[in-house]
Amino acid sequence: MTVAEKILAAHAGLEEVRPGQLVECDLDLVLANDITAPIAIDVFRELGATEVFDRDRVCLVPDHYAPNKDIKSAEQTKKMRDFAHEQKITHYWEQGCAGIEHALLPETGTVVPGDLVIGADSHTCTYGALGAFSTGVGSTDAGVGLATGRAWFKVPPTIKFEIEGELTDGATAKDVILHIIGLIGVDGALYQAMEFCGSTIRNMSMEGRMTISNMAIEAGGKAGIMEVDDVARAWLEGRCQRPAVEYHADPDAEYARVVRIDAADIKPCVSWPHLPSNTHPVSESTHITIDQAVIGSCTNGRIEDMRAAAEVLRGRRVAEGVRCIVIPATQAVFKQCMAEGLADVFIDAGCVFSTPTCGPCLGGYMGILAAGERCISTTNRNFVGRMGDPTSEVYLASPAVAAASAVVGHIAAPSDL
């Protein structure tokens, strides 16, 4: 079996499962945020439930419109907060202690290898980088999960991505996943697990791995999984709140297909509007002027991303007429930016340096685009109207490219400065 199949089989109490099989599984974690939790709570009430299945296995994170931007978002967050207090939820992070959920849960060791996680947020697939099967669901499934601790799955076939060699020319983990999405399309892995392996992955940091798993959903993937190795074990040491279980694919595991990629073919790239698959080399995108740059999100808001952006911005200024917004993914990353002097670099360069929030990524607040404006962003989606007006445009890129673009006022690589 593949890694995905082994995790689902274990949580279904079965010796083995096969693609297409319907299984009902015990869940390790159920996650929701300030947008999705209120609906899930309504479902929980409609079921007649009075207590969550396990107060230690529920995670509620106010991160999308928090700190609250208006009365409606305040009411949403209050509903989640009241529920968390009523149910004595262990993993509820209040504003000031919270952060972007998909950076926060790995950072705090709340999710561990071998877990089966559902989250009422599509980028729950991020935790696959830790060797977990984690996937986004609707608020209805999340509500049922809150009450029962169970969910049904159709076992997905797995596509194996073997990426070999060393990244060159300034290419990063973000470029790896954009390259893959550009290669197979936004539905190229529809309802399939994406298993990433090869020397390129083995030599990559955990921050980079989470960037790749995070965007599996942008190719239609049900999950984006990597096997646990020494790099992961070292990063996880001292974090895990529960015993971890490592699952490794069998040598004779059956895959829907195997995609082999030479890392030397991966160049710094940008996804043009209005699909993540619309990828173009940075070198062919320098004619595109920008009004705004956003550096952060559940995709690229970790400390490695902050350092990459700061390295470009140090001693430089954001171009006149450009707004650059830098958002660390968690309070711990925020503090580390201050301790390492990165916050000073960002502020001295003329950036907005914000408290952790998903804000601009979903067009919520802290960076809404006006009609016709263009933004280069380290986020994960560039759909029509994603960050604001339907005529605005979002270009997806790595932190270094976003920072370089902010300096010159058009899409650029750090080597262009």
Amino acid 408 reads V
Name the strand (E) or helix (H) holding 304: helix 303-313
- Provide the b/e sequence for 348-382 (b: ≥16 CB within 10 Å): ebbbebbbbbbbbbebbbbbbbeeebbbbbbbbbb
Q: Report residue 134 CA to chain centroid gap.
A: 11
Give, rounded to a whole angstrom, the gap between the first and last alpha carbons of the chain. 48
Interatomic CA distance for residues 370 and 291, integer angstroms: 10
Q: Would you say 351 is a known binding-site residue?
A: no
Asked if residue 34 lies in contact with residue 66, where contact means CB atoms within 8 angstroms, the answer is yes
Phi, psi angles (nearest 5°) of residue 158: -120, 135
Alpha helices in 139-267 (DSSP H): 139-148, 173-184, 199-202, 206-214, 230-236
* Residue carrying the six token digits 């999340």: 142
Q: Is 361 annotated as a binding residue?
A: yes
Compute the C-alpha angle 110/153/181, nearest 5°.
Answer: 75
In order of 62, 144, 394, the CA distances from 388 in angstroms are 21, 33, 10
Binding-site annotation, residues for [4Fe-4S] cluster = 298, 358, 361
Binding-site annotation, residues = 298, 358, 361
